[in-house]
Amino acid sequence: MFHHIERELRSAIAAYVRAEFDASAIITTEQPKQPSFGELALPVAFQLARQLKRPPRAIAEQLRSGMPRVAGISALEIAGNGYLNVRFDRGWYGRALVDQPAGAWIQGRPGKTIVEHTNINPNKAAHIGHLRNAILGDTFVRMLRAAGETVEVQNYIDNTGVQVADVVVGFHFLQKRTPAEVAALAAEARFDYYCWDLYARISSYYGDHPEAKQWRHQTLHSIEAGEGDLAELGHIVADAIVDCHLATMLRLGIEYDVLPRESEILHLRFWATAFELLKERQAIYLETEGKNSGCWVMRGSAFSTDTENPDDKVIVRSNGTVTYVGKDIAYQLWKFGLLGKDFHYRLLKSYPDGHPVWISAIEARGEAPRFGAGARVYNVIDSRQSYLQDVVVAGLRAVGFQNAAENSTHFSYEMVALSPRTCVELGLELSEEDRKKSHVEVSGRKGLGVKADDLIDKLIATALVEVDSRHPEAPAEERRQVATRIATGALRYFMLKFTRNSVIAFDFQEALSFEGETGPFVQYSAVRARNIIRKLEERGGVMPDFAAVLTEEAMARQLRSEDFWQLLLAVSKADSAIERAVLSGEPAHLAKYAFQLAQSFNSFYHEYAVLAEEDPERRAFLLWLTDYFRSQLERTLGILGIEVPEYM
RNA sequence: GCGCCCGUAGCUCAGCCGGAUAGAGCGACUGGCUUCGAACCAGUAGGCCGGGGGUUCGAGUCCCUCCGGGCGCGCCA
- Please give the class, per CATH, of domain A519-639: mainly alpha
Say which residue, A395 or A421, is predicted with more confidence.
A395
Which of residues 544 to 573 on A have a Cβ less than 7 angstroms from any strand B atom? none
Statement: the CB of A300 is under 7 Å from strand B: no
Element (H, E) at A478: helix A476-496
Provide the CA A511 to C1' B28 distance, Å, integer: 21
Task: Decide if pLDDT at A22 tops 90.
Answer: no
pLDDT of residue A305: 63
Task: Decide if pLDDT at A461 tops 70.
Answer: yes
- Closest nt by CA–C1' to A319: B75
For A124-154, write each residue's pLDDT tens digit: 999 999 999 999 999 999 999 999 999 999 9
pLDDT of residue A309: 63
Statement: the CB of A336 is under 7 Å from strand B: no
Task: Decide if pLDDT at A435 tops 80.
Answer: no
Q: Which nucleotides of B are covered by protein (CB under 7 A)?
A: 2-6, 11-17, 19-21, 23-27, 32, 36-42, 57-58, 69-77
Q: Hey, where are the domains in chain A? A: 2-88, 260-413, 418-509, 519-639
Determine the average pLDDT of the residues in A603-622: 95
For A410-431, write each residue's pLDDT tens digit: 999 999 999 888 888 887 777 7
Query: A2-88 and A260-413 share one CATH topology?
Result: no
For A348-358, write each residue's pLDDT tens digit: 999 999 999 99
CA–CA distance from A529 to each of A101, A568, A615 (Å)?
17, 14, 20
- The mean-pLDDT minimum among A41-50, A121-130, A455-464 falls in A41-50
Q: How far apart are CA A389 and CA A181, in angstroms?
A: 39
The proportion of chain A whose per-residue pLDDT surpasses 70, expressed as a percent, equals 98
Provide the CA A513 to C1' B12 distance, Å, integer: 13
- A178: phi then psi, degrees, rounded to nearest 5: -85, 160
DSSP A243-273: HHHHHHHHTTT---SEE-BHHHHHHTTHHHH
- Split at pLDDT 50, 70, 90, the class of A80 is confident
Element (H, E) at A46: helix A44-52
Task: Decide if pLDDT at A307 tops 60.
Answer: no
Statement: the CB of A537 is under 7 Å from strand B: no
Element counts in chain A: helices (H) and strands (E): 27, 16
Task: Decide if pLDDT at A104 tops 60.
Answer: no
pTM beyond 0.90: the answer is yes
- Split at pLDDT 50, 70, 90, the class of A50 is confident
- Split at pLDDT 50, 70, 90, the class of A289 is confident
Provide the CA A301 to C1' B51 distance, Å, integer: 35
Determine the average pLDDT of the residues in A14-27: 82
Is beta strand A73-79 parallel, antiparallel or unpaired with respect to A83-88?
antiparallel
For chain A, what is the radius of gyration of the CA atoms?
29
What's the CATH number for A260-413?
A: 3.40.50.620
Provide the CA A564 to C1' B34 distance, Å, integer: 26
Determine the average pLDDT of the residues in A26-52: 85
pLDDT of residue A558: 97
Which of residues 437 to 476 on A have a Cβ less than 7 angstroms from any strand B atom? 437-438, 441, 463, 466-467, 470-471
Statement: the CB of A406 is under 7 Å from strand B: no
pLDDT of residue A326: 93
What's the CATH number for A2-88?
A: 3.30.1360.70
Is beta strand A356-361 parallel, antiparallel or unpaired with respect to A376-382?
unpaired
- Split at pLDDT 50, 70, 90, the class of A163 is very high
- The mean-pLDDT minimum among A73-82, A306-315, A508-517, A615-624 falls in A306-315
Rounded to an integer, what is the distance from CA A579 to the centroid of its chain? Answer: 14
